[in-house]
Amino acid sequence: MQVENIHGSEKNSNAAMDFTISLLYFVVRKIIRLLLLIGAVAILSYTLMCFSPVDPIDAYLGPAIMRISPHQREVIAQRWGLHQPPLERLTRWVHNVAQGDLGISTIYNEPVRAVIGKRFATSSWLIAIAWTCSGVLGFSLGIVAGVHRDSLLDYSIRLYAYIVASAPTFWIGMLMLTFFSIYLGWAPICCAWPVGSTPEEATLLQRLHHLMLPAATLTLVGIAPIALHTREKTVEAMHSDYALFARALGEREWGIAIHHALRNLALPAITLQFASMGELFGGAILAEQVFAYPGLGKATVEAGYRGDIPLLLGIALYTTIFVFIGNTLADLIYLLIDPRMRQRRGWL
């Protein structure tokens, strides 16, 4: 018996060691992919910026361009490094990025890292609330539609999901703004805090009041894919062998869904929710533009049409990392929770 216990403990220790090595290999492989992805995004984004029809100096000067002499224009170009050839500018930019320097924003006249940090802090409230609410509501509606398959409730949920999934985010935002802000007057028309005040002066209730409509817009859009996906998985689970066996034992439909199907539905929904961070950020760009919400999405639009190359490239890199982390968390959760995935990859 003692020998068997020793062999059992050795087997558990070896299994834990193999799991740790596999996890470290997974992390290292993801880091290498992230570095390659960042390099590809940086080169592609910079190339697109070089071929952009927007002249950064003209966009920066605006109407004042008529009063600027060629010498002053040359001074601005030298200050921003625009007088150098594109390849030399790319090399210098990559060298600075490797040292953590993303450059100076031409719009805000401050370091790009500072601009992204402040704008992302504002957008994080919006993204976090919309991400959480859309996941919870979409998962709940998907289960309800799947349990009551082909009922009026199921048709209503699917109709809503199909309409919202095919509608542009900015159009839904404009409808929300028109109805709740202009007609009813329940929500502010713009901004993340009261007009005329600073972010430090705004209270938590004021921030939430201004956040309500943009977050509701992103939530309504984000519910659709989660609800449709969960509904299909629920229908499959309710017609599986274990569901038929439970039904034969007298279990009710909602009892089958809660006690038997829920554990199989949660993992795909969580994975899809983490993988949808890219779509959520894209929707945030449009929603922030509609509601004049001073977040990272609105800064992206401003950097695009005003030719702020350092800021636009910095946002592209940060967005790449943000989306990559979401997809990596989705893969990692799947591997940690589902033993079949670990076995398929040789983790067990």
Q: Around 266, how many Cα atoms within 13 Å sit in the side-chain half-sphere?
A: 10
**What mean pLDDT do residues 224-249 have?**
82
Instruction: Output the pLDDT for position 327.
Output: 79
**What mean pLDDT do residues 287-307 have?**
80
Residue 73 reports pLDDT greater than 80: no
**What mean pLDDT do residues 288-295 have?**
81
d(CA 245, CA 186): 51
Asked which of 58-67, 90-99, 211-220, 287-296 is least confident by mean pLDDT, the reply is: 58-67
State which H helix or E strand residue 81 sits in: none
Instruction: Output the pLDDT for position 159.
Output: 92
Instruction: Output the pLDDT for position 11.
Output: 53
Residue 347 reports pLDDT greater than 70: no
Residue 342 reports pLDDT greater than 70: no
Q: Is 45 helix (H, G, I), strand (E, B) or coil?
A: helix
Ramachandran sector of residue 251 (left: φ over 0; alpha: ψ -120 to 50; beta: rest): beta
Residue 245 reports pLDDT greater than 80: no
In whole numbers, what is the pLDDT of the chain averaged over residues? 78
Please, what is the angle between helix 204-238 and helix 152-166, to 10°? 120
Residue 8 reports pLDDT greater than 60: no
**What mean pLDDT do residues 212-218 have?**
87
Tens digits of residue pLDDT in 115-174: 888 888 888 888 888 888 888 898 889 888 888 888 898 899 999 888 888 888 888 888
**How far from 236 is each of 161, 233, 262, CA to CA, in Å?**
19, 5, 12
Residue 72 neighbours by CB under 8 Å, 6+ apart: none
Residue 301 reports pLDDT greater than 60: yes
d(CA 104, CA 112): 5
Q: Confidence class of residue 3 from pLDDT cuts 50, 70 and 90?
A: very low
β-bridge mates for residue 104, sequence order: 111
Q: Confidence class of residue 81 from pLDDT cuts 50, 70 and 90?
A: low
Q: Confidence class of residue 348 from pLDDT cuts 50, 70 and 90?
A: low
Residue 146 vs residue 330, higher pLDDT: 146
Q: Is 9 helix (H, G, I), strand (E, B) or coil?
A: helix
In 3D space, the residue among 16, 264, 288 whose CA is nearest the CA of residue 127 turns out to be 288
Residue 297, judged by CB atoms within 10 A of its CB (0-12, 13-18, 19+), counts as buried
Residue 234 reports pLDDT greater than 80: yes
